[in-house]
Amino acid sequence: MAGFTLLELIIALAIASLVALIGASALSGMLDFRQRSAQRADARADVRAAERVLRHEWAARGKAVRSDGRSLEFDTLHPIGTGGGAAQPALAHVRLACEIAPSGALELLHFIRFLPLDGAAPSTQGPPRWQDRQVLATGLRSCAFSFLARLRGADGQEHTRWQTRWEENQPAPQLMRLALSGLREDMPPVVYTARSKPEQPR
């Protein structure tokens, strides 16, 4: 008479199962939230590291800039890092490219070739020999370069707008914008400015 009835035992087991299910669901949601937060933090860290590299190199960009919106190439006008067999900072040819990795993820790649210290022109025979290649950001949904240009419209007035293509024979742009978008969140575009002023067309 002092024990539990079968009905009371079934009710107690049902309540315990419900509490365990709620607890497991809350724990799973918390773990998923922490994993997503860690992925966002890693993506932001990659983007911040890429921004530091780009800001430093673009500030030293030279007069010749070439881009199709998915890749960007330029020579530096100021030394940016040690290379070419010297302990002192050297000039370099830089290439940045948004490419699809074998895994299928979109990546921002960074290539660099240090220019000869004696001022001689580098050899143009064959493909360029890059001295360093690194992945600046991975797991991207979109990646694009654009440049602020002053264009004369049909009304004869000059207008400024962002354009993705830039040819070497154009005066080098002062401002470059990089738009990166992660798989899980969008990141605002970042604008970089060059130290040297663009040449004025004659």
Question: pLDDT at position 201, please?
Answer: 47
- Which stretch, 37-41, 113-117, 126-130, 159-163, has highest mean pLDDT? 159-163
Give the mean pLDDT of the chain: 80
Q: What is the pLDDT of residues 51-76, one digit of tens each?
A: 888 888 998 898 889 999 999 999 98
| Cα–Cα distance, 145 to 119 (Å, whole number) | 29
User: Who has greater pLDDT, 90 or 56?
Assistant: 56
Task: Identify which of 188, 180, 163, 189 has the alpha carbon closest to the alpha carbon of residue 65.
Answer: 163
At 141 the pLDDT is: 84
The set of residues, in sequence order, having a beta carbon less than 8 Å from that of 192 and lying 6+ positions away, is 54, 55, 58, 59, 175, 176, 177, 178
Looking up tokens 């050899």 gives: 123
pLDDT at position 193 over 50: yes
Residue 126 pLDDT > 60 = no
- Cα–Cα distance for residue pair 56/59, rounded to 1 Å: 5
pLDDT for res 197: 63
Looking at per-residue confidence, does 98 or 81 come out higher? 98
Residue 1, classified by CB atoms within 10 Å of its CB into exposed (0-12), middle (13-18) or buried (19+), is: exposed
